[in-house]
Copies of this chain bind each other. A is one copy, B any other.
Amino acid sequence: MKPEEIDRTDPEGTIAAAVARVSNWGRWGADDVLGTMNFLTDQKRRDAAVLIRTGQSISLSQPFDMDGPQNGWRRRTNPVHTMLDTGTDAVAGVQGFPHGLGGADDVIAMPLQCSTQWDGLGHIFDHGKTWNGRPADQVVTCLGDNTTGIETVADIVCGRGVLLDVGRALGTDGELPDGFAITEEHLERTIEAQGPTSTVGTGDIVVVRTGQLSRARRGLTAGDGWGAYAGGSAPGLSFSTVDWLHRVEIAAIATDTWGFEVRPNEFDHAFQPLHQVAIPHLGLFIGELWDADTLAAACAEDGRYDFFLTASPIRVTGAVGAPVNPIAVR
């Protein structure tokens, strides 16, 4: 669809129409739990190996700590990391180990969506249905997601990554402003600007850099804190990209923002409408709070925008999202 075709006053109808166009329900059988990860085959992974040229590896993960962007909204807090043993205890001689041994252990408590993460297929529902048409109340209970927990893709999120640095291609000083809706046309212009290594196709994992994280970091450095980086206005994908997301057959897409899609969104009254199609109907894996800045600098320097990407989530059984340390190898 074109952005101008979005009816601001009718999110429910517009979403339903999009679903009718792009649904992948049943595409991989009634029992499917992988969604678009089906596009990411061994063959794709093998083909991506040639993208490793210099051996440089770059993490796309933000830190997990108390200085992160979360502010408690939706009970999402920053990780609380505490110690079970420390070096100070060891030196004080209170640990009770023999022959000079000392040790430290630690504990973490955190929302699985607090920092760099994948949304699992059980993260979003449309009218009570999860991916592939399953009833949400039979799939995602207090025990977690019993069908499409993140563990189903723990082995496979690894293949060709492509950076679409829309911030650099179309923004000012490498950044898109908050509220900037990235359309299919913007994506195509970015691909064109970046050159042939940016072509997006079946099974790829696309990383979209908007530049919002760079801006948030400047705010931090200036002492202004994170502001609304976690949960507020942001550049992001237009609802209208739903057809593109379906057509290009990518395995997954990630952004350097909290919420992947543009905020405020393109309806008068809606909440994360693109999620509502992308996750339960496309079966698309969405990465959020990724840090693409170092990778973007490297790509800009040598003009190569594709890379070998490993981004398999921590294997939390039944999780509807999970932390990941995505590693790009170039």
Q: A residues engaging B (CB < 8 A)? A: 11-12, 15, 41-50, 52-59, 61-67, 72, 74-92, 94, 97-113, 115-116, 122-128, 130, 135-145, 151, 154-156, 158, 269-273, 275-276, 308, 310, 312-321, 323-325, 327, 329
A128 touching B91 by the CB < 8 A rule? Answer: yes
CB distance from A41 to the nearest CB of B (A): 7
26 contacts between A and B (CB under 8 A): A12-B98, A15-B100, A42-B56, A43-B55, A49-B52, A57-B158, A59-B315, A63-B317, A72-B78, A76-B84, A86-B140, A88-B92, A88-B94, A88-B136, A88-B141, A89-B142, A91-B137, A99-B271, A102-B136, A103-B125, A103-B272, A105-B321, A107-B110, A107-B112, A108-B108, A312-B325
A83 touching B142 by the CB < 8 A rule? Answer: yes
A87 touching B140 by the CB < 8 A rule? Answer: yes
A224 to B140, CA, bound (A): 29
CB distance from A108 to the nearest CB of B (A): 6
Main secondary structure of the interface of A (DSSP, over half): mixed
A82 touching B269 by the CB < 8 A rule? Answer: no
A144 to B46, CA, bound (A): 39
B64 touching A140 by the CB < 8 A rule? Answer: no
B101 touching A111 by the CB < 8 A rule? Answer: no
A105 touching B112 by the CB < 8 A rule? Answer: yes
A142 touching B101 by the CB < 8 A rule? Answer: no
CB distance from A303 to the nearest CB of B (A): 18
A108 touching B112 by the CB < 8 A rule? Answer: yes
Q: Which of B43, B53, B87 contacts A137 (CB 8 A)?
A: B87
Given A94-B141, A316-B108, also A100-B63 (CB < 8 A) = no
Given A98-B270, A98-B271, A138-B94, also A104-B320 (CB < 8 A) = yes
Q: Lowest 7 CB-CB distances: which A-B pairs, in order?
A: A87-B136, A46-B55, A87-B140, A45-B55, A102-B125, A42-B55, A310-B310
